[in-house]
Amino acid sequence: FGAFTATYRKQMLQSWVNFCIQKAIPVTPEFTLSTLRKWRSEGLPPDQNSIENAILIKKSSHWPLLIDPQEQAYEWICHMEGANLKKVSASDPNYMKTIETAVRLGQPDLQEKIDPILKPLLMKDVVARDGQSLIKMGDAEIEYNPDFRLYLTTHIPNPHILPAICIMVKLINFIVTFDGLQDQFLSRVISLENPQLEEQHCQLLESITLDLSLLQELEDKSLMLLQKTEGHILDDQDLIDTLQNLKITSKEIINRVQISENTEQKIEQTRVKYLPVANRAATLYFVVADLVELNYMYQFSLDWFSKMFIKAIQQVNMKQKDMPHADPLGPVAGTLRPQSEVSLALFGNHQLCFSFMICVSIMTNDYNGSSLGFLPISEWQTFLYSDVLASMMDTTGDKNKDGKSNSVFLGTVVYYSIVYRYTYLISSLEGFIADKLGTKYVESGNLTLREMYDNSDATTPLIFILSPGMDPTSQLMRLAQEVRGSTVHVDMVSLGRGQGPKAKELIKKAQILKGRWVFLQNCHLAASFMPQLSTLWDLFRLGETSLPIAVEPPQGLKKRLLHTFSSCLGEVTEEMYAKTSTNPTWKRLLFGLCFFNAVLHERKKYGPLGWNIPYEFSCSDLESLEMLLEGAVDVPWQALRYLTGEVVYGGRVTDSWDRRCLLSTLDHFYHPSVLLDKQTFSKDTAAALPTAPPCRPVTRHIFIKSEETIPFLKIFFLHSSLF
């Protein structure tokens, strides 16, 4: 029962109850326990699934193994057991000693992995000898305290657990539910928006819990006195006086509880006003959690997401202070920042999919039962009898986490696009998302590297996820120069064989000398070293509290130009472009060079029609030519053409026809006409720059008039018959 999801548990319990009713078997009605409020005050989520899990933990005859990817159970157990709890890892040198101490003294023990040496504890192989309970741990027998408790957790959402382990433990699924997560976000939002209200709410919960516990103690005491009484009860005056006092105290407690519960109801009515914001947060988190289906690397912790969402709410509050007429706090307030930060960690081919997942989840969650519209009969008949639908019909029965089928709607949108024009699918999705959420949700790169740096701290590192041919070293050094004025505080080490001790030394040095940065390169080559980071620094959690940034070539000409001029990871920053010390023609030449660089990269996605041989042009090519342009006093066209077309870019080109194509393309960008006002590189582009230094960022002047495929082919100097 413990390993099942909340939805399946509910269905199972209902079937059991119905069966008992049909067979005339007495069934205990639903009831509440006094300990439920205590568990909630200790951090247990209030949803039914979490309550059932807590009961299983307390009542099971086996030690619990908790599937806890969001660390909900971990936090609750830590609060419930308090300072007496022992947390130990198998890599700890005092591992056995800590376990033996906990077993002898009857202390609770929390572990994240199952070590083979724990088998006697899991099997509870306790023997009685000379009036003592003993258990064999390793080669020694130690005294077993019956108050000892063992908790086992795993962060893996869908772990593979051997049957031999399952029979020794109680497997419990503690994956967070929507209702439980919504309540948590509600408390966080209210604590930020109305801290007095949330504090009063918590105090009332604690007061009610204490009063109910005291009431239970009084009832137990009354029963105990009655049980111990000898002779006639009315002859014992002390007993009568004691029972009378208990009755008076009990009435006072009951009245106090009623007043507290009435006040709690009023507070709940006020808290409901913030429910849409909490609902949106929970919706977004489950969308983010589903990204693991796209790539196993896309795993984001609940703690990181919660902090990010709260920062989004704080930004809205600051905006309202500066702009009194700004939009009030609502569900939309905390949506864009999570989308931007998570998109920054995704590869380009998954960003649009993520935005579409957000859009569909929000629409599904906000659906109020009204009509969704319909297709014309002729188009619906064409769709039904298409060959595409027949081959995909078996996938329309999939269900989401709540058991509701939503693939019919999604399938209709996707299949309809495939049937009529697959090439328009991307633009159709972008238009759909822009119509429902806004154009910002189809744009990438909304956050800069500086903003990501500001969001990080000593316990929240940045992790760069690289695609082949990408290297963020130069971008990181530019950030260091921008933040600190120099790069002497940056320590870099490329991990590999024998580099682990050097990395340890640099990290320890950074701990002592405040303000130093440590950049570990090629972490994938040191899989055995990475777990040692947690032993170097107790607060270090790379896999859980890191800000991931995907570093890969942008998809599309417009996005590549925006990336080049971005202060996030771009080769040209706004400050660099706006320098007044350079030649007046430098900006136009630099922009033409960046446009040329983007065209060369974009031609690669057309395979042999773009280049006969795929070439790996890098950002260092653009950076080297950028320095060359900056130092030029006049415009040496012949030298620029030779260095660009024959040395820097041409040095990578080995095919003669590709070299001819590259030089021909370069002539469009290294030409005296590019120095003219309002000069564009294609009739389908509008990327001309003003003669004076732009008052707005240069990225505002970069846009493409048409998103169609054919005009783009003209920009890339490809024939329109390609498609």
Residue 443 reports pLDDT greater than 60:
yes
Q: Are 58 and 172 in contact (CB under 8 A)?
A: no
Q: How far is 351 from 349, CA to CA, in rounded Å?
A: 6
CA angle 274-276-282, nearest 5°? 110
Beta carbons of 309 and 338 less than 8 angstroms apart: yes
Alpha-carbon distance of 476 to 570, in angstroms, equals 11
What value does the mean pLDDT of the chain take? Answer: 75
Q: Which residue has the higher pLDDT, 268 or 119?
A: 119
CB 78 within 8 A of CB 165: no
CA distance 390 to 383: 10
Average pLDDT over residues 439-461: 73
| Distance from chain centroid for Cα 26 | 46
Compute the C-alpha angle 567/570/572, nearest 5°: 85
Q: What is the rounded distance in angstroms from the CA atom of residue 28 to the CA atom of residue 42? A: 27
Q: Is the pLDDT of residue 511 over 70?
A: yes
* Contact present, 508 and 537 (Cβ < 8 Å): no
Taking the alpha carbons at both ends of the chain, their separation in whole angstroms is 56
pLDDT at residue 706 in the model: 40
Residue-level pLDDT at 693: 41
What's the one-letter identity of residue 239? L
Q: How confident is the model at residue 287 (pLDDT cuts 50, 70, 90)?
A: very high
Whole-angstrom distance, CA of residue 335 vs CA of residue 312: 8
Tell me the pLDDT tens digit for each residue of 74-102: 888 998 888 888 888 877 778 888 888 89
Three-class secondary structure of residue 133 per DSSP: strand
The pLDDT of residue 286: 92
**Which fold, 6-176?**
Rossmann fold (3.40.50)
Query: In whole angstroms, what is the distance from residue 642 CA to residue 634 CA?
Result: 16
Q: Residue 447's pLDDT band (boundaries 50, 70, 90)?
A: low
3 within 8 A of 175, measured Cβ to Cβ: no
Higher model confidence: residue 339 or residue 620?
339
Higher pLDDT, 702 or 386: 386
Give the per-residue pLDDT at 631: 61
Q: Does the structure show a pLDDT above 90 at 547?
A: no
- Rounded Cα distance between 697 and 228, Å, is 86
Backbone φ and ψ for 432, nearest 5 degrees, come out as: -65, -45
CA atoms within 13 A of residue 296's CA, in its CB half-sphere: 3
Highest mean pLDDT among 4-8, 59-63, 375-379, 717-721: 59-63
Residues 6+ apart with CB under 8 A from 693: 578, 580, 587
If you write DSSP's letter for every residue of 383-438 in order, what string do you get?
A: HHT-HHHHHHGGGTT---TTS---HHHHHHHHHHHHHH-GGGHHHHHHHHHHHHT-
C-beta separation of 84 from 105 below 8 A: no
Tokens of 199: 């504090």
Q: Which residue shows structure tokens 């933040």?
A: 483
- Report the half-sphere exposure of 400 (CA within 13 A, side-chain side): 17
Domains 457-551 and 557-722 share a fold: no
**Gyration radius (Cα) of the chain, Å:** 33
How do 517-521 and 547-551 pair as beta strands? unpaired
Whether the predicted pLDDT of 374 surpasses 80: no
Read off the pLDDT of residues 123-181 as tens digits, 9 standing for 90 and up: 888 888 888 888 888 788 889 888 899 999 988 888 888 888 888 898 998 888 888 88
> b/e for 426-464, b at 16 or more Cβ within 10 A?
eebbbebbbeebeeebbbbbbbbbeebbebeeeebbbeb
Adjacent-strand bridge partners of 67 = 154, 173
The strand pairing partners of 169, in sequence order, are 63
- SS3 string, 591-641, reads HHHHHHHHHHHHHHHHHHHCCCCCCCCCHHHHHHHHHHHHHCCCCCHHHHH
449: left (phi > 0), else alpha (psi -120 to 50), else beta?
alpha
**271 secondary structure, DSSP code:** H
Architecture of domain 457-551: 3-Layer(aba) Sandwich (3.40)
Q: Does position 621 have pLDDT exceeding 70, yes or no?
A: yes
Mean predicted confidence (pLDDT) in 469-485: 80
Cα 260 off chain centre by:
38
Q: Where do the structural domains in the chain lie, given as residue ranges?
A: 6-176, 190-275, 280-442, 457-551, 557-722
Please say if the pLDDT value at position 395 is more than 80.
no
pLDDT digits (tens, 9 = 90+) for 340-349: 888 888 887 8
CATH number, span 557-722: 1.10.8.720
The four Cα atoms 567, 569, 572, 575 give a dihedral, to 10 degrees, of: 20
- Tell me which amino acid residue 186 is: L
For residues 601 and 609, give the distance between their C-alpha atoms in angstroms, rounded to a whole number. Answer: 13
**Are the C-beta atoms of residues 448 and 398 closer than 8 Å to each other?**
no
Kindly give the pairing relationship between strand 132-137 and strand 140-143. antiparallel
pLDDT value at position 65?
92
Q: Using a cut of 0.85, tell me whether the model's pTM lies above it.
A: no
SS3 content of the chain, % helix, strand, coil (to 5): 60, 10, 35
Token representation of residue 126: 């306790």
Residues 579-609: tens digit of each pLDDT? 656 666 777 788 888 888 888 888 888 788 8
pLDDT of 507 over the 70 cut: yes
